[in-house]
Amino acid sequence: MKLLVAILNFRTTDLTIDCLRSLEPEVAATAGFRVAVLENGSGQPDAYPRLQRAVSEHGWGDWAEVTASPSNLGFTGGNNLLIRRALASDDPPEYVLLLNSDTRVEPRALGALVEHMERTPAAGIGGSTLLSAEGAVQASPFRFGSLAAELDRGLRLGAVSRLLSRWAVVMRTPAAACAVDWVSGASMILRRTMLDEIGLLDEGLFTYFDDLDLCLRARRAGWETWFVPESRVIHLEGASSGISDRMRRRPAYWFQARRRFLLKNYGRTYAALADAAFISGFAVWRLRRRLQGKPDLDPPHMLADAYRHSVFGAGFALNEVRRP
């Protein structure tokens, strides 16, 4: 098998079917491309049969398979389940594409990724251009974080942001394919030989920071991550998780994943400095916002939650994320 596309369905059955529909022209016409869908413990009795029925009724069975998990394994556990099954098969894939259920691929999105990986042997990971439903380019790719970036993320002061721009996590979207620090897991292709070397997704993260973690582990093992702008994917950001820039209260598992990522990859001192940089900067922003009468667009209780789940509030133990 050349490529396995792994898709998790968690309470997004209609979107998952739309995603499969967008995949049909390229996958059905390309030898060696297959799709595996996991109904990831949605708790909705009709989800699994609806997915099976869609595959059958649309004639997708030659290239798509649907399985189900009785419990929510998260982004990491669900994808790892699909990847392990494929790697243990008689025809393991050369590449695995992690694709969110809330996406729709544009023509040649898959082919562009595979072709780039074929001609770039140092690339262990590749990422797509992500677009909103209206066609606006979403953030991806990114730089690895830094203490300066954590301060800037909290402070939100124009003069400071300009001064620290070279360390900003969000970077300008490149016009041509290039090596970058990390790419979004919404559409991320992985080379099998890289996975054999560095391992699969960290299931202790459950959901979030898993793409960043994987790209960092790949970099440290000598693999490159590339952004491939010719691969274009529409991403209905936050449709499956509910997390977006303007939203309800951010869930505990997001903060827990962040703390695990920092402690695991950078150690206690860096994690403490990163937490201190963000919390202090964000506290100043919250005060300035109130004094200047700026609109409050932050998730509720963000400052208190950031402290409660930081190493100062939750400690330095390298815990796994508690599953919601």
DSSP state of 96: E
Asked if the model's pLDDT at residue 36 lies above 70, the reply is yes
H or E element that contains 8: strand 3-9
Better pLDDT: 96 or 139: 96
124 and 15 together in one domain = yes
262 and 125 together in one domain = no
β-pair type (224-235, 103-105):
antiparallel
Confidence of residue 68 (pLDDT cuts 50, 70, 90): very high
Confidence of residue 212 (pLDDT cuts 50, 70, 90): very high
147-163 CB burial, b ≥16 within 10 A, e <16: ebbbbbbbbbbeeeeee
Average the pLDDT over 183-192 and give the result. 98
Helix (H, G, I), strand (E, B) or coil at 98: strand
Domain range for residue 295? 252-314
Q: Which two tokens stand for residue 42?
A: 């949605």
Q: What are φ and ψ of residue 306, in 5° steps?
A: -60, -40
Q: What are φ and ψ of residue 283, in 5° steps?
A: -65, -40
pLDDT, tens digit, for every residue of 247-265? 689 999 999 999 999 999 9
215 and 257 together in one domain = no
85 and 188 together in one domain = yes
User: Is 159 a domain residue?
Assistant: no
Cβ atoms of residues 74 and 167 within 8 Å: no
User: Is 322 a domain residue?
Assistant: no
Confidence of residue 243 (pLDDT cuts 50, 70, 90): low
Asked if the model's pLDDT at residue 199 lies above 70, the reply is yes
Asked if the model's pLDDT at residue 239 lies above 90, the reply is no
Using alpha carbons only, what angle is made at residue 73 by residues 69 and 77, rounded to the nearest 5 degrees?
Answer: 110
Asked if the model's pLDDT at residue 246 lies above 60, the reply is no
Q: What is the pLDDT of residue 244?
A: 53
Q: What is the pLDDT of residue 29?
A: 86
User: Is 321 a domain residue?
Assistant: no
Asked if the model's pLDDT at residue 241 lies above 80, the reply is no
pLDDT, tens digit, for every residue of 117-134? 999 999 999 999 999 999
213 and 294 together in one domain = no
Q: What is the pLDDT of residue 238?
A: 64
Asked if the model's pLDDT at residue 145 lies above 90, the reply is yes
* CA-to-CA dists, residue 306 to 153, 211, 281, 291, 295, angstroms: 13, 21, 12, 22, 20
Q: Which two tokens stand for residue 196?
A: 């054999």
306 and 177 together in one domain = no
User: Is 281 a domain residue?
Assistant: yes
Q: Which two tokens stand for residue 56?
A: 């059958």
Last residue of a domain, one of 185, 210, 235: 235
User: Is 245 a domain residue?
Assistant: no
User: CATH no. for residue 219?
Assistant: 3.90.550.60
β-pair type (64-69, 33-40):
parallel
Q: What is the percent of the chain where pLDDT is above 90? A: 93
231 and 258 together in one domain = no
Tell the burial category of 314 from Cβ atoms under 10 Å away from its Cβ (0-12, 13-18, 19+).
Answer: middle
DSSP assignment of 219-263 equals: HHTT-EEEEEEEEEEEE-TTTTT---SS-SPPPHHHHHHHHHHHH
260 and 230 together in one domain = no
What CA–CA distance (Å, rounded) separates 80 from 86? Answer: 10
Average the pLDDT over 305-320 and give the result. 98
User: Is 292 a domain residue?
Assistant: yes
264-273 long-range contacts (CB < 8 A, ≥24 apart) are 264/202, 264/204, 264/213, 264/318, 265/213, 265/216, 268/311, 268/316, 270/147, 271/311, 271/316, 272/311, 272/312, 273/147
User: Is 222 a domain residue?
Assistant: yes
User: Is 32 a domain residue?
Assistant: yes
Confidence of residue 323 (pLDDT cuts 50, 70, 90): confident
Least confident residue range of 16-25, 76-85, 247-256: 247-256
202 and 286 together in one domain = no
202 and 261 together in one domain = no
DSSP state of 323: P
Longest dimension (CA), the chain: 64
211 and 278 together in one domain = no
Domain count, the chain: 2
Q: What is the pLDDT of residue 19?
A: 98
122 and 68 together in one domain = yes
What mean pLDDT is reported for the chain? Answer: 95
Torsion, Cα 214 216 218 222, to 10 degrees, reads: 180
Helix (H, G, I), strand (E, B) or coil at 23: helix
